[in-house]
Structure 1
């Protein structure tokens, strides 16, 4: 008994200390932010929610902020996203220095002016976005010294001048640097980073040759610098005439040696050469016409290696091998001899840079065919890094510029429970989305096919961990994509991937605006919600309904009936209602839970709590349905 009481005392003491530490951290962050607020001008009252009445971050488990533009992680301020707010004045870096967990800052699209602040005091910063302000003057060479964690720096659309600061050259983790539309002068320095993949310097006054390490970048990155040269721009012109070499032909004869007979001989030789060239051009034209009559698939099949031992083909061959199925054909993506019709547009530059032709030539295998099209796993030839290429034919709801703008929304999404979109390929008829390969596959496979694949079933602690990760990722999407009615829109078990530690990664999010409306209504999970089936509309709470259905699927191990039913929408609605009602009627019976979960006896009560949260999220009446913030808080309270 004494040992038990001693253990209880220690546990309670540690809990009190943890709460006290969190509260102290919140007080410290609050004071630092209020000090920062006092140093700047806020004419639109964008920071009116920054008050002493509530802390900037809630408990560490939920990490939700009620302060505008504050991003929390584990109970501390992790980021500031103060954009389009009309802010000006002096940025008090000393106040920000007190935010020990601060890792990302965005002051884009405001009215800050003058010299760049001393952000190198924030040595742990990973991302700094200052574009579209009125900063000016030269940036001292030492401005970024010590920022060893900095990965992304955006300084574009300001009035900076002078040369590019030397302290940027050796930042070890820098992968993205945007300095376009300023007044920078001088030469582009030799950057030392091997992983620097985005270097946008257009519309400045830079001069001289572009370093060879950047010759493969997009020419638009350097456009508008009249004195820049070498690839990917025009080659630098030589200032001195070429010197003759030992193998150079002698200069043409002059004077009396240039006789009429010599001129006649030269004319005859030229006529013969021109005649041969004309014949060769005609032959090439006939050859090209004959090749155009052959189908692309025929060319591809004839060029494949006829080996029965070949287990993997190139991605291009793998796609063409689907016997012409429109779901698995990439005809038109590549031009002659596999040259790309256009380059990939990169959003996430956390890995190596590659081109479309690299993917088309990569060894690959088909992963499956989803509701929007096929997915392929491709190994990059240079590093054998595995990527996944998903092909979409139903992404024509937006024009090119609107589509690209929507893709740029994904660029700054950064959360441990989101699978990043690394790059995309745009074509009017079809789109490709490229992401990293996740080895454990989808949650659906682990819930419904694990035993057939010889894998152990997911236990209760793992399933709870997955639910918490899903809810955190969904809440982050709602915070970062507030203009979307359904920031995910297609939340289901096959769109949740599991990494090596069974941490969930949300996939296929944010697609509602770009998918054709008729295809979205037919295929996307959000459009199977009660509000759409009954009133032909989706709401801000539609994703919550999808979350609830997913929670019930994870706990019961059973597929939601509406996902399998392909009949009339009324049939799907009735089947889903019956499925939910069956679970609700059995919510007090332990038999409702998946037997493969093998939960301990003292875990059934916590499982029942999570089941009730799932049912509350599945409330057919939108007004009565649980709010996402409340759902996440309650989910975080569930214990193993």
Structure 2
């Protein structure tokens, strides 16, 4: 018995670690076994009145190669669910966020214009979300102060026109990437939290029960975003220290206002005849005020010219939206908005219009699309509206007239890549560094690959790839614009203005190919690396010969390291990768289209590049690569 006892004492205690590991592995295995379809079907069970989701069944793919064949309201990217846009479907019941949390790549949800009730769902369970659209429902009650804690990627929050009460949750003010906030049309009370996000420009908290001073960080927001809160004060509203005026002062103010209104009325009668004659071809605006006047007048000219025929009056002010994830507005909202000229490109001028909601949009006028019939144009716009990729600027809406068109998209905060490469730099705004430039090139390549995958019928899927058509978001990620417009641009204008028609193959054989956009990509790579503007873009017409000369001037540099833009910086180790990218750019610019790389080959080599200064821009470790200045020794 003693011996047995001794044996029992000496026997090793089983380690709990293997059991824990087994449990973890079982958990992982079981979670991976659950498909997106299973998750969404479980989520649908929680919804009431879900008849509109009848096509959610396993007889069809959740994410098809053709987005139109995917499940209703499901948006996919690279075969995974990244968005749910279940708007205006009469849905009610509960929003089962526990189920949705199993969708690893879910980044945006929109349940606007439904009939959901009760408290705000626990949004923070979906910690990776970038956009939340819950406006125009019947949610009610106080929102917990920590409702948005830990949501470091959240950029857009739309909770407008519900029945929320209590204080605005302070966790909203701590979201580092917040860009758009819509809380209007609720019953929030108390003071506004101190929002410190430097890129937060689109805020609307009107028509609530808020009071006290407006935080200084929001003083630049339009006063309309705070209207309907009778106890708010401070910029952009009246000073908090102002007192109620006496009856005499009130009477004087009324008389003065009446005189001013009469004067304004007379001026408007005079100016009304001339407002449509304002043209953008004159002298450049000298300040923001005159820029706003020119932009507004030009938009008015576009919007009011349809009034000439009685049968067309119903068309006035009608924007056609091509996306489901946008709150609607009309052309009159653009005309009433404060406007600013962003620039005048080859096809027309672009205007930034800040709507009454505080959201900034960009409207671009095109006069070179009048050879395209209405049905053909509308079908192509719907086609573009179905595109969804992080490196493409989504088309939001369009306005059709035979003589000219308006294309409406979101405003991108950091402007164009061209302005950052060729603008004046300072300590506050330094030039783009090497990791940022490499990330931009990789993003551009991914956007191009998506276009060619989604628009296989187009020989040239972008057609106008250049640095001024690459916008940079708040994180300096690239967003392509002015893409896939070749089918609707007048051919004579396209040949004069578009990048695709400056390629060697068009100059030599009057044709474009599937490799034409690769030429544009190569030019862009060289421009990013050298900081030099391509000479073939400076004049109108086919300047392929100048473009080839520009490329050769870079390729023939005897001391290759001198070709790089000094503002790009980079350590000694990164120079090897820079030279690899230079060689990729030259291979994409090969004059002989047969020898030029195709897009897949170019993207493969671009993706292999790394930021080799010890870490890449995501913080991953990389081995060192020895620097060389001899292009012939750089292998890909």
TM-score, structure 1 as length reference: 0.55
Matches within 5 A, 1:332-347: 332-333=304-305, 335=307, 341-347=316-322
Contact 1:481 1:487 (8 Å CA) reproduced: yes
Q: Provide the residue aligned with 1:427 in structure 2.
A: 401
Local SS of the residue matching 1:423: strand
Query: Residues 310 and 511 (structure 1 numbering): CA distance in 2 closer, same or farther, change over 3 Å?
Result: closer
Q: Mind listing any 5+ residue stretches in structure 1 that lack a counterpart?
A: 1-24, 37-87, 97-101, 130-137, 155-163, 178-187, 197-212, 214-290, 302-307
Give me the whole-angstrom Cα distance separating, in 2, the residues matched to 1:310 and 1:440. Answer: 20
Give me the whole-angstrom Cα distance separating, in 1, the residues matched to 2:329 and 2:592. Answer: 48
2:575 aligns with one of 588, 604, 607? 604
Query: Residues 33 and 540 (structure 1 numbering): CA distance in 2 closer, same or farther, change over 3 Å?
Result: farther
Q: Provide the residue aligned with 1:544 in structure 2.
A: 518
Matched, 1:318 2:294: yes
Matches within 5 A, 1:53-68: none
Task: Mark the structure with the bigger radius of gyration.
Answer: 1
Q: Provide the residue aligned with 1:62 in structure 2.
A: none
Q: Provide the residue aligned with 2:368 in structure 1.
A: 394
After superposition, give the CA deviation of every residue in 1:110-154 in whole Å (9 maximum; x if it has no partner).
799xxx99xxxx99762479xxxxxxxx99987975466674699
Query: Residues 152 and 606 (structure 1 numbering): CA distance in 2 closer, same or farther, change over 3 Å?
Result: same
1:371 aligns with one of 346, 349, 360? 346
Q: Provide the residue aligned with 2:355 in structure 1.
A: 380
After superposition, give the CA deviation of every residue in 1:450-500 in whole Å (9 maximum; x if it has no partner).
327972111111111111111111111111111111111100000011112
Deviation at 1:631, TM superposition (A): 0.9
Q: Provide the residue aligned with 1:126 in structure 2.
A: 83
Deviation at 1:585, TM superposition (A): 1.6
Local SS of the residue matching 2:339: strand
Query: Residues 454 and 401 (structure 1 numbering): CA distance in 2 closer, same or farther, change over 3 Å?
Result: same
Q: Provide the residue aligned with 2:433 in structure 1.
A: 459
Q: Provide the residue aligned with 1:633 in structure 2.
A: 604
Q: Provide the residue aligned with 2:496 in structure 1.
A: 522
394-403 vs 545-554, greater mean Cα deviation: 394-403
Q: What is the aligned residue count?
A: 415
After superposition, give the CA deviation of every residue in 1:491-530 in whole Å (9 maximum; x if it has no partner).
0000011112211111111111010010111001011111
Give me the whole-angstrom Cα distance separating, in 2, the residues matched to 1:382 and 1:405. Answer: 30
Give me the whole-angstrom Cα distance separating, in 1, the residues matched to 2:534 and 2:479. Answer: 21
Give me the whole-angstrom Cα distance separating, in 1, the residues matched to 2:70 and 2:366. Answer: 40
Contact 1:459 1:598 (8 Å CA) reproduced: yes
Matched, 1:472 2:446: yes
Deviation at 1:294, TM superposition (A): 9.2
Contact 2:134 2:159 (8 Å CA) reproduced: no
Matches within 5 A, 1:227-306: 296-298=273-275
Query: Residues 92 and 312 (structure 1 numbering): CA distance in 2 closer, same or farther, change over 3 Å?
Result: same
**Aligned-residue RMSD, C-alpha:** 4.8
Matches within 5 A, 1:117-156: 126-127=83-84, 145-146=96-97, 151=109
Q: Provide the residue aligned with 2:591 in structure 1.
A: 620
Deviation at 1:432, TM superposition (A): 0.6
Give me the whole-angstrom Cα distance separating, in 1, the residues matched to 2:322 and 2:110. Answer: 12
Contact 2:505 2:512 (8 Å CA) reproduced: yes
Deviation at 1:348, TM superposition (A): 3.3
Give me the whole-angstrom Cα distance separating, in 1, the residues matched to 2:433 and 2:488. Answer: 37
167-176 vs 510-519, greater mean Cα deviation: 167-176
Deviation at 1:401, TM superposition (A): 1.3
Contact 2:117 2:138 (8 Å CA) reproduced: no
TM-score, structure 2 as length reference: 0.55
Give me the whole-angstrom Cα distance separating, in 2, the residues matched to 1:176 and 1:166. Answer: 9
Q: Provide the residue aligned with 1:64 in structure 2.
A: none
Contact 2:471 2:481 (8 Å CA) reproduced: yes
Give me the whole-angstrom Cα distance separating, in 1, the residues matched to 2:334 and 2:349. Answer: 15
Matches within 5 A, 1:427-576: 427-451=401-425, 455-566=429-540, 569=542, 572-576=543-547
Give me the whole-angstrom Cα distance separating, in 2, the residues matched to 1:292 and 1:596. Answer: 54
Query: Residues 397 and 541 (structure 1 numbering): CA distance in 2 closer, same or farther, change over 3 Å?
Result: farther
